[in-house]
Chain A
């Protein structure tokens, strides 16, 4: 691009006199004339209770290298494609805290969030690549790395540069200031701490039918999903399955029940509360704040809450996680309802119990926040075991390709049908309320379009502003389906600290070595001297040239 601009400039001489007249202004402008400019995404930088994790620097300005075995790597940026990465080597490297100038990891272009339409190749390769990516992400997120780490997607330009760098390295000519080569520059300011990370909880309220004379508060059923993500590269954390699938399922369920509730004849005696919470990866901090903001009567009226988490890639096996003991009668009732519907749909639902430890701040499932406030709650999830802190929160490997629309549709049917039969007291009868081919059928294109939107929007909560378009979109969508929508803005609690600068532009320059410049100076100097001598000799003669170097002879004054 800059090359053709230059070529055209050299060939259209008529504009130059004008440019020359403005030369003082041009002197202040420096055009970008890099070989390549690539979008890069930085590794996350965060602290947990003061302990630093992630990449602590963002500005990059070093020569490129391609192998972990080079010399003087502390002034080199390594370009490593993830496909060919040796995990044990890099784990050792990072654990031994060896210093690098920087690290640029190249991801296969199919993992790019923008690459939604391409199909994946052989399953075996993709699965092993995905596992490698998960391990790499875990390693990077939980290490303290004192140099910049960036992710980029492979494309033709960068592959060409990498091939040349590899060739130079193989020839024993690593890129340094004295030998020339490629220089990688990311102009970024120092990462700043994000002072008050925002979390926004969006709730929608569908009131039930109050018959005259009914003074008590109607019972409520809550359906909740957390919508934010966390991953190694916050600018790439789209979390299709965790928890984009939950959000999409919630929106579809809201749509279905809003259709039922629009007609007073089909409105049930239960209120429905839909909650899209933020702060999920951080021990469901947002859910806790949301619950605390409720009026106590409202909270006590919640019969039970269903939290949706990762329902997009489960195949046919789902799990209902509870914290109350499974022998509890109410839990058994809920589970029965789900099992019956699941059987009809050809799904398997298992009940899993995990006790809460009040003194442990770790909240692995969203329903535990409800249980801590003494509200009966369960989490429906494709995951069978409780995830660790910052695990399964929508990282690099969680994108649209690994999320199945069909799984989400099945989950929607399961939850909607179970709840509907409960609130309309149809549990014993065999009736399908949300049958396919009915006006209450689950809409696959609705699910598909929302899944696509969420799979192209990174949603790490500290980097979402108060008026982020996504929050507004979710608010508007819930407002379409429910009667009353509220957005609650809160500040994320203190254990986590985040730093900004999540993406940037990488410029790759091909630089000449110092020796080349010196050599050129030498050649030009000798050329000019030769030219001078040649012209001098041809116009004034050799004697004059030699006499230049001799002192003029002293004149003897002739005395009369």
Chain B
């Protein structure tokens, strides 16, 4: 039964990525390579972040919220943004429309994130006899993370790839991007500082991911209008 549970949690964590790829026109335009390249960039970014965190951060055993450490972690979170910038702008993509480019990059980014952060505990923990709800919540987190990554990629493409943006929307775009980039710090503050339990945190993540997705969709549509 436990391998069954592992299978369930695995399809919850990784299924949406596959579904997203196959349901949207991404599969028709052969954007798989883009996603793979984005995943590799994510790996490199994660390693760089790891080195920085290991060098500058002192890991405390207690579970309390230390503002200084969290600030440092948030700063290093912007390395993520830099990585995404690199993936969006510097990598050569074949002629795929911008619409699909950001989706592919976001998808690859989220998939790499899920594999790196969630596959290991899933494989080790979900196969045991003991049953906990943790892995299901982890899967839901992965879903929220997918939405976040795609939104961030969308906002990123708006910031760096689109040259003619309506002036009024620019600060909103940057603000939203900032919020999404610092989302990990916000959730860890909720978990440690306010002492929220896992279900509550995951609920918040899901809700805010949908909200941000909606906002970035609106921004994207709004920016598309003045073209031409």
Residues of A participating in the B interface, judged by any CB pair closer than 8 Å: 6-20, 23, 26-27, 29-35, 177, 180, 183, 185, 509-512, 514, 517, 520-521, 524, 527-528, 531-536, 539-540
Contact = CB atoms under 8 A, between A and B. Distances in A.
Given A511-B131, A528-B16, A9 B121 contact: yes
Given A31-B125, A520-B8, 15 more contacts: A10-B138, A11-B188, A16-B117, A17-B50, A19-B120, A31-B124, A33-B125, A177-B1, A510-B131, A514-B1, A514-B4, A531-B19, A532-B22, A535-B24, A540-B24
A29 B24 CA distance: 39
A528 B11 contact: yes
Nearest to A29: B124
Nearest to B20: A535
Contacts of A185: 129
Given A510-B130, A512-B131, A14 B50 contact: yes
A521 B128 CA distance: 18
Nearest to B42: A17
B8 A23 contact: no
Interface in B125-140: 125, 127-131, 134, 136, 138
Contacts of A532: 19, 22-23
Contacts of B71: none
B123 interface: yes
27 contacts: A6-B121, A11-B188, A11-B192, A13-B117, A14-B50, A16-B120, A20-B119, A26-B123, A31-B128, A33-B125, A35-B130, A177-B1, A509-B130, A510-B130, A510-B131, A511-B130, A511-B131, A512-B5, A517-B4, A520-B5, A521-B8, A524-B8, A528-B16, A532-B23, A535-B23, A539-B23, A539-B24
Interface residues of B, number: 45
Given A524-B8, A528-B15, A532-B19, A17 B24 contact: no
Interface string B132-158: 001010100000000000000000000
Given A20-B116, A517-B5, A531-B16, A33 B128 contact: yes
A34 B130 contact: yes
Interface in B71-118: 115-117
A517 B11 contact: no
Contacts of A509: 128-131
A517 B123 CA distance: 17
A9 B135 CA distance: 13
Contact of B129 (A9, A177, A183, A521): A183
A6 B124 CA distance: 10
B49 interface: yes
Nearest to B43: A17
Given A185-B129, A520-B8, A6 B50 contact: no
Contacts of A540: 24-25
Nearest to A539: B24
B221 interface: no
B53 interface: yes
Contacts of B22: 532
B191 A539 contact: no
Nearest to B126: A33
Nearest to B8: A520
Contacts of B47: 17
Contacts of B117: 13, 16
A33 B130 contact: yes
B129 A26 contact: no
A540 B26 CA distance: 11
User: When A and B form their complex, which 3 residue pairs have the shortest distance between CB atoms, in order from nearest?
Assistant: A535-B23, A512-B131, A509-B129
Given A30-B128, A512-B131, A536 B121 contact: no
A511 B1 contact: yes
Nearest to A538: B24
